[in-house]
Amino acid sequence: MLGRLGAYAAIALLWLLHWLPLSVLALLGRGLGALLWRFAGARRRVALRNLELCFPELDPAARRRLAREHFGWMGRSILERGLLWFAPIARLQRLLKVEGDLQQAERSTQPVMWLLPHFAGLEWVAPGLLLGQKRPVVDVYQRQSNAVLDAALMKGRGRFGDTRFVNRHHGIRPVLKHIKDGCGFVNAPDMDFGRKDSAFVPFFGVPACTLLAPGKLAHTLGMTVLPLTVTMLPGGQGYRLTAHPPLADYPSGDAMHDAHTLHRWLEARIREQPAQYLWVHKRFKTRPDGEAPLY
């Protein structure tokens, strides 16, 4: 774990690297990913296990190649964080390509929820939303154990416009207040947060502990639900933020139905860019009663 001095050193390195052309930074990030693949054995095993569960049709060699490619994207996402924290806004706008109707949130007369799955380029949604449309944003965040990195992360995420941050441990009430004030809610619901307010819903055919709150909240508040994905492009080509059309029949008023709908949509997006999804997360950590651990 990084101490305070280590955190300051890491931030200084990101500041130095952000001056590089993206093509060079991307090459360095892939190199970092190769190092992580070699030395981060626990995360490597998690990624391989997830791919084994989700893509049983692939042979072990193909899954291993996919996992190695994933580590390359994750290495890039780490080093390219410096761009988000330090690069001029004009440079970020040149690098970020917006696809789809991002302004549909502004035109909605209802509260808005953006659904944002955990792809490697997820952090690029901040400049995309705040610079690409006018509705303010509320975001729930997980506080980092390192105070120096936590402060840098929050400053970097909040430098593009009107973003209100709510600590996950403070619950839903502050989020509801910001939604009432007109904020769109950025919601990343595709992780295992434990059994509370969750149910086991198939994800690539494997029961996954899944939050039911997104569908419930969207139905209760009559929200317009707009999915987003961020794709990292090869080399120095930049990033693509895609504003997808609203999900059909979501929310439906049936939380389980909505969770199934979200997973089907997410599986389709992952199959489009399988190496960029967050395979190092233990998505199947929580198991149904009586089922053996999968990791």
DSSP string for residues in 147-164: HHHHHHHHHHHTTTS-EE
And the tokens for 26?
A: 């991307």
Alpha carbon distance 168, 138 (integer Å):
12
Dump pLDDT digits (tens) for 235-270. Answer: 999 999 999 999 888 999 999 999 999 999 999 999
Q: Does residue 21 form part of some domain?
A: yes
| Contact predicate 241/96, CB 8 Å | yes
Alpha-carbon Rg for the chain in angstroms = 19
- What is the model's pTM? 0.94
Instruction: Flag whether 197 is in a domain.
Output: yes
Query: What number of CA atoms fall less than 13 Å from residue 58's CA on the CB side?
Result: 18
For 102, residues 6+ apart whose C-beta sits below 8 A from its C-beta are 128, 129, 132, 133, 241, 243
Residue 171, pLDDT score: 86
User: Is the N-terminal amide bond of 234 cis, ω within 30° of 0?
Assistant: no
What was the pLDDT predicted at 129? 94
At residue 142, the pLDDT reads 87
Residue among 65, 29, 30 at smallest CA distance from 47: 65
Give the bridge partners for 208, in sequence order. Answer: 201
Please check whether residue 91 is in contact with residue 19, taking contact to mean a CB–CB distance below 8 angstroms: no
Strand extents, DSSP E, the chain: 96-100, 112-115, 137-141, 163-167, 184-187, 198-203, 206-211, 224-232, 239-243
Quote the pLDDT of residue 2.
77
Q: Look at phi and psi of residue 116 and say left if phi exceeds 0, alpha if psi is from -120 to 50, else beta.
A: beta
Q: CA-to-CA distance for 72 and 158, rounded, in angstroms?
A: 27
The reply to whether 283 falls in a domain is: no
Does residue 291 lie within any of the structural domains? no
Domain of residue 152 covers 4-276
In a domain, 287, yes or no: no
Q: Is residue 98 assigned to a domain?
A: yes
241 closest CA partner among 92, 102, 91, 79: 102
Residue 67 lies in a domain: yes
- The whole-angstrom separation of Cα 250 and Cα 259 is 9
Positions of the chain with pLDDT lower than 50, given as ranges: none
Contact residues for 108 (Cβ-Cβ < 8 A; gap 6+): 224
Counted domains in the chain:
1
How far, in Å, CA of 84 to CA of 11, rounded? 12
In a domain? residue 147? yes
